[in-house]
Structure 1
């Protein structure tokens, strides 16, 4: 019976696969289209042309929205019609149960439809054969065997748990694509996704409880590790021993290897694999698909189905009291085909990045003419001949921050006050003279002009070696100079010290000038404001000259090297 199911399933897969390849495989080519007289490039990706190449790929009820988008009265395009995906999967499967699993095999077929660029729904049918073989003897009462079979073992006898479970699964899964939307690339070539959903499962559980002669097994398991026990069981299978742990189907024997149905109820009259066990399940999984062409992709998917309530019966055991539930693991290579007319539908939305259109528009060049290259298209440019390099405002006019008529890019005085207008060709204005300055000038003109200094010369002062003390001759010379200064109040005196060869000479020059200054102020009563302090000139380092003058200058100067000061 099972072989008929597999034959029908494979035949159905073959028919659907043939139909999928027979679909229209034409694709929309990339082209430039004209919208209200403006040329817009469709870009290099033909799959995103649905956004602006008319209304042929949107539903009739969405044509008004699409037309509004094309005519710039609606900012959003209509959602396009997109293809459905037919998927065929093949691969290994096994169940997590209290019995050690052996790999089985399964197949599936599904239809997937996009809800958005991220989410989609997938309706699927799958079938799988799953096997298990324990390594320890269990009480026969733990098995979901008919009582007629259990009685053959006798009270207290044990059996080696095993199962062959054929599961048919109808599922509805919500799939979330994890990388369809991106700001940094076009349409994806790889789709990573996660899924969660519900499944209804119909299982036929068969247990090998009788040997080739139809009698209960006499268990004779070897001692040792789990591997040793299983290796012995496999060896006896290969040797086709009628009294072995598991019997096999001989060439001239029509008996079935898994001859007894596992039950989901207290029925005890079922023999064979005709009892169907129904269970609800929660699906969860992940997968990845690789685009081969706009019509075909290949992927691999890992899916788990967690069965609800007392699901240990799927492995032929009554263990619900232990709180265990069975989980089906299915790993499949999937072959996916996009179904639909490409003239009316685009690829499934999870293969289309909706940001393509936005970035293609941003990357488009020379969509609207801009003769002066200022970034403002000619239709909005109020200054169509803006000089190159000049910053402009939103109307394309050269910026003129101070409003003097000279654009900022040529204005040498960008913020000229209006009181300085008019400006010259470089934008530089004329600063008006403040009223206070004219008043001051008038006051100065009314004052008498100071008389010139009548002193023609003043004596010099000589120092001995490195001394800074004034000897009697020096004091006498300075007293004479002070008398002349007191007689000529318009005169000032410039004290000039020499010695610039090194730091010590410069400090000594300063000390000597300071000694002369202090004598004139403290001993002769000369005002400090009439003294000009200078030192460190090239000349005789032992001499300090006094020069009459009317110029201005500092009356005090900081010591150049105070650490060398005497």
Structure 2
């Protein structure tokens, strides 16, 4: 494999990689800085410039440029571009051009061609040249509050061109033609003209490699300046020559690029993520939102601190603690009040006689239940027989206001007292006291617990 083939293979592989990158970016990155839909991504351009048979990387063209035979002569070159931008880093461009490439020989002797007639100048007409290019954005610089910008780019592609070289016997391209194969391309023969084709132009593959810079003139128009080296797969770009090898040429161009779409959207070509991030950080409205958010967070933290404050350390915050200052280690319910277990109630109510279970009441009621009569009759008999006294402690569950529940607990204790008095117990032997929501024996967070808290406890002395 020769050097030219290796070079073409490497360039073609680069182009395939670029196309693969575009497809991968489109498949794997559905959004670009908020989504491509918020940008303008299509553009068209017109351009014109000049050509030269030389390229910056040096080397030798078919006329022996390296040894000093043929010299540069500029030719015109112009065309159109259509580009789709996939991200702020990469786009695909379809480019079409036409024009002429010229060169001439200062030396009177001139190089001899294979058929032994001399040529002192050559002009290659490019009827058309089309290529698909991958365009890589190298960087964008913004000026004047983002109203103007400069964008640097590089491109590489693969294309086909139709051309016809003509060689002349003099230096001004007006003398006798010593070589012109127009109308005979197809079966190229280097000596006689037998068995030739019938095409006016020769088709040649080429690889454009270039760099450029764009100046943003407005939201729609940009000035585009660039330089492209074109490496062809042809040793007849300038006709039959003395130095056989693949030919090349370059073109310098300038033009205007027009972005399509709504002006309300930003041009993705000139999108600068770093500058956008800087603008957002400096945006007064964003800063105000951040400060407001900080204030809301501070307020929320204060509220959380207030809700979580637990002065007596019983695990219930002060805001919901109905029994503040509970001794450390005391088991409490959901309202922060001590839990009284059945054995504790039994101890509190222990007497010489029997233990009496609390008298239960319905919700928002101080009316005795009929099932309580038997217990109260037994209690009344014990007090009369033993000349005892009794304390009746009334309680209520946590529904309603504390003042209301205090009155309700008093009514419940007095309802039990009245029953005992009616059963022959001296009123002076019975003390009835209401304690409202205090000292719940179960959680007021459930209905089952609230039922147990609607009670009158009996303490016989």
Shorter-chain TM range is 0.3 to 0.5
TM-score, normalised on structure 1?
0.39
Q: Quick check: which has more Rg, 1 or 2?
A: 1
